[in-house]
Chain A
Amino acid sequence: AQSVAQPEDQVNVAEGNPLTVKCTYSVSGNPYLFWYVQYPNRGLQFLLKYITGDNLVKGSYGFEAEFNKSQTSFHLKKPSALVSDSALYFCAVRDGRGGADGLTFGKGTHLIIQP
């Protein structure tokens, strides 16, 4: 079984400061890892993914995430936060061994960027 943990319900960051949203995962095979963002009453928007290759993945809106196999983590980062980054962020994992299984999501982390 695969699982995702987002240990923080909420992260508060001042505008212009760097931000980190934490994510750890558990999966049997090689992980496919994703970050999605959800704005109020909206569906999810894809930010970035790690499948293979470089551990540092760059995605939309200036976000990046670092895959750390030894720590089974995939933390989302951004060097300088914007107020418009305030949203609900979900980390998700899928077992890379194949199949059409849906993603397993973390519980989500509310990111609040304060002006």
Chain B
Amino acid sequence: GAVVSQHPSWVICKSGTSVKIECRSLDFQATTMFWYRQFPKQSLMLMATSNEGSKATYEQGVEKDKFLINHASLTLSTLTVTSAHPEDSSFYICSARALAGGSSGANVLTFGAGSRLTVL
């Protein structure tokens, strides 16, 4: 089945530094990837929709200059948390939707395992 790989699975950084999280679709091409943020014991909040070859679409309240998203190829999207602060500490999860007709189905999202960011 479809697999989405996220890297790193966990990262600790100092306040003020930038952290990049990668999301890769391993066995299918993803025109669209989504980035979610999950706070402890809470649901997932959609941060942005990443479309290959175009600018990401951010949800209301999400700072696009803070959370930089790049979807340079059909198998890779990256989320960069710039000038990270302790309040950015969270569990970030990406998901990918295959091209229509792909083996994973056009309507089912495949999720990565998540990346836990801790900002000291």
Chain A residues in contact with chain B, CB under 8 A?
32, 34, 36, 41-46, 49, 51, 90, 94, 100-108
Closest Cβ neighbor of A48 among chain B residues:
B108
Q: Are B46 and A103 in contact (CB under 8 A)?
A: yes
- Taking A42-B113, A49-B107, A100-B32 as contacts, is the C-beta distance between A107 and B42 under 8 angstroms? yes
Q: Are B49 and A102 in contact (CB under 8 A)?
A: yes
Question: Of A51, A94, A100, A107, which contacts B43 at CB under 8 A?
Answer: A107
Q: Are A100 and B51 in contact (CB under 8 A)?
A: yes
How many B residues touch A, CB cutoff 8 Å?
25
Q: Are A43 and B114 in contact (CB under 8 A)?
A: yes
Q: Are B32 and A43 in contact (CB under 8 A)?
A: no
Residue B116 at the chain A interface, CB threshold 8 Å: yes
Contacts of B4 in A (CB 8 A): 43
- Taking A32-B107, A100-B97 as contacts, is the C-beta distance between A43 and B6 under 8 angstroms? yes
8 A-B pairs with CB atoms under 8 Å apart are A43-B112, A44-B44, A45-B111, A51-B107, A100-B32, A101-B49, A102-B34, A102-B49
Residue B110 at the chain A interface, CB threshold 8 Å: yes
Q: Are B43 and A106 in contact (CB under 8 A)?
A: yes
Contacts of B91 in A (CB 8 A): 41
A45-B111, A46-B108 given; 4 more Cβ-contact pairs under 8 Å:
A44-B111, A49-B107, A102-B49, A108-B43
